[in-house]
Amino acid sequence: MIEADLRRNWFDLFQASLAGEKLGTEERQAIERAFLCMRSYRRGETIVDHSPLSDPLHLVTRGWAARASVLEGGSRQITDFVLPGEFCDLSRLGHRSSQMAVAITTVRTALLERQAVRKAIEDHPKLGLALLRMALREQAILREWLVCLGRREKREHIAHLLCELHERLRRAGMVCDHEFDMPLTQEQIAEATGMTAVHTNRVIQRLRKDGIISFGRQHVRIDQPQQLRKIAEFDAAYLST
Binding site for its own copies (CB under 8 A): 20, 67, 69, 71-72, 75-77, 79-80, 90-91, 93-99, 118, 121-126, 128-129, 131-133, 135-140, 142-147, 149-152, 193-194, 233, 235, 237-241
128 binds, among DNA, its own copies, none (CB under 5 to 8 A by kind): its own copies
Rounded CA gap, 237 and 210, in Å?
Answer: 27
115 binds, among DNA, its own copies, none (CB under 5 to 8 A by kind): none
Rounded CA gap, 156 and 226, in Å?
Answer: 13
* Residues 105-144 as x/- pattern, contact with DNA by CB under 7 A: ----------------------------------------
In this structure, how many other beta carbons lie within 10 angstroms of the beta carbon of residue 165? 21
Beta carbons within 8 Å of 183's beta carbon, 6+ residues apart: 64, 104, 105, 218
**Cβ proximity to DNA, 18 vs 163, nearer residue:** 163
- As to burial, measured by CB atoms within 10 angstroms (0-12 exposed, 13-18 middle, 19+ buried), residue 122 is exposed
| Binding flag, residue 17, DNA (CB under 7 A) | no
Beta carbons within 8 Å of 123's beta carbon, 6+ residues apart: 30
214 binds, among its own copies, DNA, none (CB under 5 to 8 A by kind): none
125 binds, among DNA, its own copies, none (CB under 5 to 8 A by kind): its own copies
Rounded CA gap, 178 and 71, in Å?
Answer: 36
**Cβ proximity to its own copies, 134 vs 212, nearer residue:** 134
